[in-house]
Structure 1
Amino acid sequence: MVVDGDERVEAFWLGLGLGLGLPGLIDVHTHFMPERVPAKVWAYFDAVGPLVGRAWPIAYRYEEAELLAVLRGFGVRAFALMISPHKPGTAQWLNGWAAGFAARTPDCLRTATFFPEAGAEDYVRAELGAGARVLTAHVQVGAYGPGDVRLDVVWGALAEAGAPVVVHCGSGPAPGKHTGPEPVGRLLARHPRLRLVVAHMGMPEYTDFLGMAERYEGVHLDTTMAFTDFAERAAPIPRTERGRLADLGGRILFGSDFPDLPYGYAHALEVLARLETGDDWLRGVCHGNARRLFGL
């Protein structure tokens, strides 16, 4: 149950935290799922699906209990899920599963999601009232625009509550009808107080999403897959953006995509050190920024 290089994960964060009280990592982007769903997802990656287009060997193909043991062994002290409804009626089912998962997994932030459908505002408000700490939206999987009129009251409720929302809205790994920075820009113009966490740094439209973070103080970005050798071959981040990454360090959060990684977990961390933005920046990205955002 050990991938080559896993022993380097603890060494990474211990090296950052020595004498500075860094207790471990916070991962804002993982993929624990209901029973039988992971096998379907992994089969898709094994078949080199049309959105991937290249080999994607799953590094951590274990049952739920083993996956939790691996993640905790890395020193991950808290984590959030990325749950993604793909049709009407599935969001509440996923929310029920996620609530149960969080109840039996105290280091998991209770996560909820939504879909453009009748009743979405009611169940989102109910989830917030029941203790949901983070919401998710995946416009590619859900095939809906963030500006869908049925979601306007939902976004308003989330802005009012100050609830963080992890949004997969970039056009990677392949563009969709509703992906890209323009729909999110229009959403933020309407709801500027939203606390959005742009998944994958907005891959591949990094520059545009960094600009949104500069314009809107509630916009954050997660590092999921970004900067890795795997992602850089297809969607490299321009070196000219390094200075902006440093300046926005307080709003960049570590995410991994665990367990659906085509490389070891250590690599997702070590590539952040390659950016040469300094240990204080890394400490914030790997722990402090998420702790503040989620009130941990």
Structure 2
Amino acid sequence: MNDHRTASADAARHTPVSDGASEAEAAEIRRFRERLGLPALIDVHTHFMPERVLHKVWNYFDTNGPLVGGLQWPITYRRAEEERAALLKEFGVRAFTSMLYPHKPGMATWLNAWAADFAGRTPDCLHTATLFPEPGVETYVREAVEAGARVFKAHVQVGAYDPEDELLDATWALLADAGIPVVIHCGSGPAPGQHTGPGPIARVLARHPRLRLIVAHLGMPEYEEFLGLAERYEEVRLDTTMAFTDFTERFMPFPPRALPRVAALGDRVLLGSDFPNIPYPYVHQLQALERLDLGPEWLRAVCHDNAARLFGV
């Protein structure tokens, strides 16, 4: 990391949470919740990870890495960890995740240890864990489950692995038996990977139909194919992360013909945001969902009730 980036990170650590922009956005989100009669939001797709790992992720976006798909992607909430957690609280998010993921073997165990510690010192965070197809994966996933992990993150695109890998088969079975949801980035957006797309996941689900997969980003850009999997498997859900926003609609628009299917699956669509790694204000994700005009009951379910029921919060 060069001196400019180090200086930027240091500056972020001293940025006050309650600045004018944050207060205005929090007020706007509060009005959104009041319109729906919601006490709070639950966001199943937020990123907290070791600071040096997160800074590498930010650098990847800053330098327009290959998986960013050639997009300009400024990080809106480039702040220190404790400030980011406090900001979510200020926004009325009462439960969130620490989505973290390995890009190579040998990372998952120490990431899981960090995530367990983070959940222990961050009451609003759902204890999150991750995995990678490697020898010993079933063992450390079982250990994470026994330690209280409530949600897992799998990133097929970044990890560049096949979810059908035989090393993962027993692990998928373990998670299906435990009923623990897995937020999985398996769609081909913003850039395709060797194993992204609905095909590999469909074959995993054929073997493990009770696996509680939460397809990240509504499966973009293969929206309709992943909706089909949710229609076929009752434990498959989708999160809204970046879907329907102005940013995403410019390059991976959601097909209007499929909107009635999203409405019909209203009990299995969950709010996700990708905070803090988003190129627009948090409130815009909420506005993008509201302007779909699917009704207040659908919005209440997506922004709170579905996740509250799934995680028992």
Whether TM-score is above 0.5 comes out as yes
TM range (shorter): over 0.9
Distance 1:235 1:284 in 2: 25
Residues 47-93 of structure 1 deviation map (CA, whole Å, 9 limit, x = unaligned): 22222212111111110111111110000000012111111110001
Q: TM-score, normalised by structure 1?
A: 0.96
Match of 2:33 in 1: 13
User: For the Cα contact (< 8 Å) 2:26–2:90, is it kept in 1?
Assistant: no
How many angstroms apart in 1 are the aligned matches of 2:126 and 2:62?
29
Name whichever of 35-44 and 86-95 sits farther off.
Answer: 35-44
Aligned to 1:35: 51
Question: For residue 304 of structure 2, what is the aligned residue in structure 1?
Answer: 287
Check conservation: 1:14, 1:24, Cα contact below 8 A.
Answer: no
4+ runs deviating over 6 angstroms = none
Match of 2:135 among 109, 115, 118: 118
1:108 aligns with 2:128: no
Report the counterpart of residue 6 of structure 2 in structure 1: none
Give 1:134's match in structure 2, choosing from 143, 151, 158: 151
Contact 1:80 1:108 in 2 (8 A): yes
% identical aligned pairs: 64
Displacement of 1:6: 4.5
What SS class does the counterpart of residue 151 from structure 1 fall into?
helix
Within a 5 Å distance, the mapping from 1:35-74 to structure 2 comes to: 35-52=51-68, 53-74=70-91
**Helix, strand or coil: the match of 1:166?**
strand
Give the whole-Å Cα distance in 2 for the aligned partners of 1:43 and 1:134: 26
**Structure 1 residue 206: Cα displacement:** 0.2
- Residues 215-234 of structure 1 aligned to structure 2 (within 5 Å): 215-234=232-251
Partner of 1:237: 254
The answer for unaligned runs of 5 or more in structure 2 is 1-18
Q: Equivalences for 1:87-236 in 2 at 5 Å? A: 87-236=104-253
Partner of 1:116, secondary structure, is coil
Moved more, 97-106 or 111-120: 111-120
Distance between the aligned counterparts of 1:76 and 1:110, measured in 2?
15
Conservation of the 8 A alpha-carbon contact between 1:6 and 1:264: no
Q: After alignment, is 114-123 or 280-289 more displaced?
A: 114-123
- For 2:56, the aligned partner's letter is K
Q: Note the 1:69-80 alignment, pairs <5 A.
A: 69-80=86-97
Cα deviation, residue 217, structure 1 = 0.2
Conservation of the 8 A alpha-carbon contact between 2:48 and 2:97: no
Q: Unaligned regions of 5+ residues in structure 1, if any?
A: none
The amino acid of 2:55's aligned partner reads A
Letter in 1 for 2:104: K
1:276 matched to 2:283? no
Deviation at 1:226, TM superposition (A): 0.4
| Larger RCO (alpha carbons 8 Å, 6+ apart) | 1
Q: How many residues of Structure 1 are paired with residues of Structure 2 in the alignment?
A: 292
Partners of 2:89 and 2:190 lie apart in 1 by: 29
Contact kept, 8 Å, 1:6 with 1:265, in 2: the verdict is no
